[in-house]
Every structure is written in C-alpha cells, then in structure tokens.
C-alpha cells in the first residue's frame, strides 16, 4: 500500500506520479487548444512533437532514479495527452483529492487507477462537479495551503480558470487546522504573457524559506504583498513576464537542497546555486510550449 504523505513542496521526495508523452496524439487544432501558449505554437507550426517531449520526460525520470524516488507512470491511452499529472489529483497530508478537471480530460484519472488501487479508499477524496480545482493551483507550505483561483464574474468564460472559490471553500472545510489562503490570478485566453494558468505559473516555494514569484501574475497587489510579508523580500526571486512565459516558477523540488530546473533558466539556476541549492538541469523547453513545466508533470505521493 502507498502511505500518502505530502506536507509541503520541498521535503525529500520518495514517490511520485510522472506523466507520459508516449502516444500523445496529433497536434491539436486551434479550437482544441486549452491555453494561449499552446494556441500560439499551434498557429506558428512549432507545437512540440511526441518524440522530443518523451525524451525530455525521460531526462526527468533519470533524475528521479538518481535520487531513488519511486516513479509511477500512467497507463498509456492511445493518441491522448497525459503529460500533466499535476492537474488530475493532488495529495495533502495523507489524503489524495481527485480534481474536477476539464471534462475532455477525465480519461487521465482512469489511467492512474493502478495508483489509486494501492491507496486506502478512505484516503481518496472526490467532490461534486461544481467544485473545481487542479493540482497546479494547490501548494503546501508549513501550515498553509496556498490556492490559486479566479474571482472574476466571468469565471465560466475562461478555459484558463481552473479553480473556483467553491474549490477553495472545500479545502477550508476539509483542512480546518490549516490556513487556506487563496490568490486571485490574472487570466487570459489569448495572451500567454498575461495568463497565470495555475498558481505554480507565477509562484513556488523552494528550500525552507525561499520562493520564485512573478508580481504581475496576481490580480490583487495585496496577494503579492501577503507573500512578500510571509517570505521576506530578500528570500524571493522575482521573474519577468518573459521568464514567467518560459515557466521559470515551475521548477520541482526533490528535497530542501535539490531543485530540478530547465537547463536554459540561466538567471534562476545561478541564483539557486548562490543560495546553496544543488540544481539538476534537464531539457524541458518543448513541454513548456503547452504552458506547463516540471511541477505540472509530477504529482508527489510521498515526501518525508
């Protein structure tokens, strides 16, 4: 049996679900695009191909092997995008919560049924369809649960708005002993530089007390200030619009000392090393064309 335990974003990783790019299917049409960055690459003819993405995910898999992390993979569904395992479920403490994701993506949850089969059924939480959240919007830090959401009245008009206030309230009720703090994120259907698809597209803690942040990703400046006060200005690495677009904040921690990052993120990787981190660099630029990076492709099950 899998004994679930995830209390934060950076404790030593022991078990993880890593998505797969195998049999990823043909390039989507413009109408099928889920986010503005994919749309941009579909139109430009630069949408990533399966072979390149599979190679990138294998590079990450090798890093997990190096650190003795148990890796679960989804069952392959023919011609289907199963790269972003973070979206479909997430672990808080000893519970795994299934996301209510876009209806077209429900098969992705079925493809990791073999993982759910190893988890005590009492630890598996499902919600009603009106409660929306995806794992990219849910982030644990000490006694906090940070949740990305979108508070605009036009929530339903945005395919890029993935977590609603009902989702936030559900987590509040489920974890009454934690501080659940929601953040109102900037959304755009058409401009990837103006779209924080999930919270981890504009913010993520690393190590014990540091974080990567993109100020313009927050609709309400008070949300940004809240994080400044919590972490301290000197502990935050601020990223530009272009760096957010490249997904600089979507790195992935294997431990408080080890961060996996994209090999082209020179400015960030230099900063991380200056702070004393070991940086494992992998190529992930093709996957980033779908507006997701390292954190998006992983779903931690056990951290020490």
Whether residue 1 is contained in a domain is answered as no
Place of tokens 């995806």: 134
CATH code, domain with 266: 3.75.10.10
pLDDT value for 102: 67
- Residue 83's pLDDT is what? 95
Find the domain containing 160 and state its range: 13-303
pLDDT at 161: 67
Determine, yes or no, domain membership for 265: yes
**Within a domain: 8:** no
The answer to the question of residue 108 being in a domain is yes
CB atoms within 10 A of CB 177: 6
* Number of structural domains found in the chain: 1
Question: Residue 159 has what pLDDT?
Answer: 64
Residue 2 lies in a domain: no
Q: What is the pLDDT of residue 187?
A: 79
pLDDT at residue number 162 = 79
Classify residue 151: in a domain, yes or no: yes
Look up residue 193 and give its DSSP letter: G
- From its phi and psi, is residue 194 left (phi > 0), alpha (psi between -120 and 50) or beta? alpha
Is position 3 within any domain?
no
Residues 299/91, Cβ–Cβ less than 8 Å: yes
pTM of the model as a whole: 0.94
189 occurs within a structural domain: yes
Q: Which residues of the chain have pLDDT under 70?
A: 101-102, 155, 157-161
Beta carbons within 8 Å of 221's beta carbon, 6+ residues apart: 215
Query: Can you spell out the DSSP letters for 167-227?
Result: HHHHHHHH-TTSEEEEEEB---SS-GGG---SGGGTEEEETTTEEEE-GGGBSSHHHHHHH
The CA distance from 302 to 304, in Å, is 7
């Amino acid at each position: 049996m899998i004994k679930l335990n995830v209390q934060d974003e950076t404790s030593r990783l022991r078990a993880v679900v890593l998505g797969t790019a195998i049999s990823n299917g043909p390039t989507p049409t413009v109408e099928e695009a889920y986010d503005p960055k994919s749309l941009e690459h579909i139109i430009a003819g630069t949408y990533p191909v399966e072979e390149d993405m599979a190679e990138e995910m294998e590079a990450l898999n090798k890093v997990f092997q190096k650190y003795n992390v148990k890796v679960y993979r989804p069952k392959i569904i023919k011609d289907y995008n199963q790269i972003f395992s973070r979206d479909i479920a997430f672990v808080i403490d000893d519970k795994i919560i299934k996301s209510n994701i876009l209806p077209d993506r429900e098969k992705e949850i079925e493809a990791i049924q073999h993982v759910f089969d190893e988890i005590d059924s009492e630890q598996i939480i499902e919600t009603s369809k009106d409660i929306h959240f995806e794992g990219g919007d849910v982030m644990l830090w000490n006694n906090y649960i940070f949740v990305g959401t979108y508070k605009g009245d036009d929530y339903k008009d945005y395919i890029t708005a993935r977590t609603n206030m009902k989702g936030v309230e559900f987590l509040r009720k489920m974890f009454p002993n934690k501080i659940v703090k929601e953040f109102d994120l900037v959304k755009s259907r058409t401009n990837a530089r103006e779209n924080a698809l999930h919270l981890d597209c504009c913010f993520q803690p690393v190590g014990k007390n540091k974080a990567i942040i993109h100020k313009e990703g927050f609709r309400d400046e008070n949300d940004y200030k809240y994080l400044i006060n919590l972490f301290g200005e000197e502990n935050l690495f601020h990223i530009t619009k272009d760096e957010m677009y490249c997904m600089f904040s979507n790195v992935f921690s294997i431990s408080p000392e080890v961060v996996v990052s994209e090999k082209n993120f020179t400015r960030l990787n230099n900063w991380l090393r200056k702070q004393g981190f070991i940086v494992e660099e992998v190529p992930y630029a093709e996957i980033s064309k779908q507006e997701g990076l390292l954190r998006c492709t992983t779903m931690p099950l056990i951290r020490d």
